[in-house]
Amino acid sequence: MTYAETIDWLYGRRASYERQGASGYKPGLATSQALDELFGFPHRRYPVIHVAGTNGKGSVSHLLAAVLQSAGYRVGLYTSPHFVDFRERIRVDGRMISRQAVMGWMQRYLRSDFKDEPSFFELTSTMAFDYFARQKVDVAVVEVGLGGRLDSTNIVTPVVSVITNVSLDHTDMLGDTLGQIATEKAGIIKPGVPVVLGEGEVLEVRSVVTARAAELHAPLTVASDVPQVSHAVHVGDALLLSTTEYGEVRCQLTGDYQSRNANTVLTVVDVLRRQGFGIGREAVVQGCARVCSMTGLMGRWMQIAERPLTIADSGHNVAGLSQAMSQLLATPHRVLHIVFGMMGDKDVPHILPLLPREARYYFTQASTSRAMLAEALRAQAASFGLDGKAFPDVVSAYRAARRAAHPTDDVVYVGGSMYVLGELFAALKK
């Protein structure tokens, strides 16, 4: 198979949450464990940092990878989903897995005559673990795909488990209360393994994580209890963090919410240092300052154009979008132009009220069967007082917003779904 045929086979013949939604979600660890055994238990050959959470787990994973790279470690990074290229999911020291490695691994799998029917994510996770072993990484940062307890990545026994935060998302699969969702996230906690909870202000979440950690004798640190980031301010194209241990640290991620993610990362760094990882101040400073450059991270309050100022952000649930809208409204502007698309399985009635009524909207849809049709989204938005037009694809909506916006006084925002951003980034790349 060619590379294109390999990717088509992965997506076309395998169950995939990203393509099918809940019907493509395959919970449980049995197939992942069998695949792991087939390839010789590759994840056991290096220490793993396991990262779960509703929001921020991608940013935390990339920040940790950048800090560890800056400290001189060879770092594997496994994240999902990707924006443009499947290979974004699997990186070593920021470099994507090669097409040849993807094809080679797939040929090894197909020759094995594996009897089960793995999902897309089960195959991809095993591919990542095996690639990291072959690349002889010193440490791997592994982001949970969905939930935690039954996620394909949860076959690992990490050196530290990280839960960034818990809010309502994927309620059709993880539960419709914070306690139920927290139980799924806390499923990554392992016996005796230190765990960091990034944000512990919500009692319902905190009590679940605390109880699970105590049950497994896993030392728990709540990053928000003794914050290492005391203050954050925007300075040019960076977020300047005032920290208790590292002084002033410039962060390449400029979303207001990144101060909380950075606080979680610094707490995890403390845990790693106690385990013998050599991570000095300069590694923290450099990793934060160059996280996007070093790891390829995209789509987090990302400026993609200057005239007019154009921001792309991947917040797609109530918690993520409320944070993004707060920062957007605080950004100086005459008129806001918002390009917006959503997946049909998202909490539309609770998300649309978060959007500012005074903005002009360009409703659109990503080219996936899970996407909510642009016209349907426009109609629902109108019932919440949001005025705009529907566009059949992301690029046409983006172009219309850019044409209508004043080059110096207005702001364009693109968001609502990572798939919307992915199609825009692919078009911009061309």
| Long-range contacts of 9-12, Cβ-Cβ distance < 8 Å, separation of 24 or more | 9/106, 10/86, 10/106, 10/120, 10/123, 10/124, 11/120
pLDDT at 11: 86
In the chain the first and final C-alpha atoms are separated, in Å, by: 25
Which contiguous run of DSSP H or E holds residue 367? none
Q: Is residue 380 part of a domain?
A: yes
CA distance 266 to 285: 11
Domain contains 251 = no
Same domain, 310 and 204: no
Same domain, 215 and 343: no
Q: Is residue 102 part of a domain?
A: yes
206 and 337 assigned to the same domain: no
177 and 64, same structural domain? yes
Among 297, 298, 282, 295, which residue's Cα sits nearest to residue 250? Answer: 282
Q: Last residue of some domain: 222, 255, 290? A: 222
Q: Are residues 79 and 215 in the same domain?
A: yes
Residue 18 has pLDDT above 80, yes or no: no
Domain identity same for 178 and 321: no
Q: What is the pTM of this model?
A: 0.94
One-letter amino acid for residue 312 of the chain: A
* 182 and 316 share one domain: no
Listed ranges 2-16, 46-60, 108-122; the one with the highest mean pLDDT: 46-60
Tens-digit pLDDT profile for residues 180-196: 999 999 999 999 999 99
Residues 197 and 329 in one domain: no
Of 222, 245, 264, the residue that ends a domain is 222
Q: Final residue of a domain: which of 179, 207, 222?
A: 222
Flag whether 312 is in a domain.
yes
Domain count, the chain: 2
Tokens of 283: 């590694």
- Is residue 82 domain-shared with residue 214, that is, in the same domain? yes
Residues 215 and 308 in one domain: no
Which CATH number goes with the domain that contains 27?
3.40.1190.10
Question: DSSP secondary-structure letter at 247?
Answer: E
- Give a yes or no: residue 97 inside a domain: yes
What is the share, in percent, of the chain residues with pLDDT greater than 70? 95
Structural domain boundaries enclosing 401: 302-429
Could you tell me if 78 and 195 lie in one domain? yes
> Which residue in this structure is represented by tokens 């203050």?
231
Tens digit of each residue's pLDDT (9 = 90 or more) over 238-263: 999 999 999 999 999 999 999 999 99
Residue 349 sits in a domain whose CATH number is 3.90.190.20
Residue 272 inside a domain? The answer is no
User: What mean pLDDT do residues 193-200 have?
Assistant: 97
Residues 323, 209: one domain? no
Question: In whole angstroms, what is the distance from residue 89 CA to residue 186 CA?
Answer: 23
Q: What is the pLDDT confidence band of residue 341, given thresholds at 50, 70 and 90?
A: very high
For residue 381, being part of any structural domain is answered with yes
263 found inside a domain? no
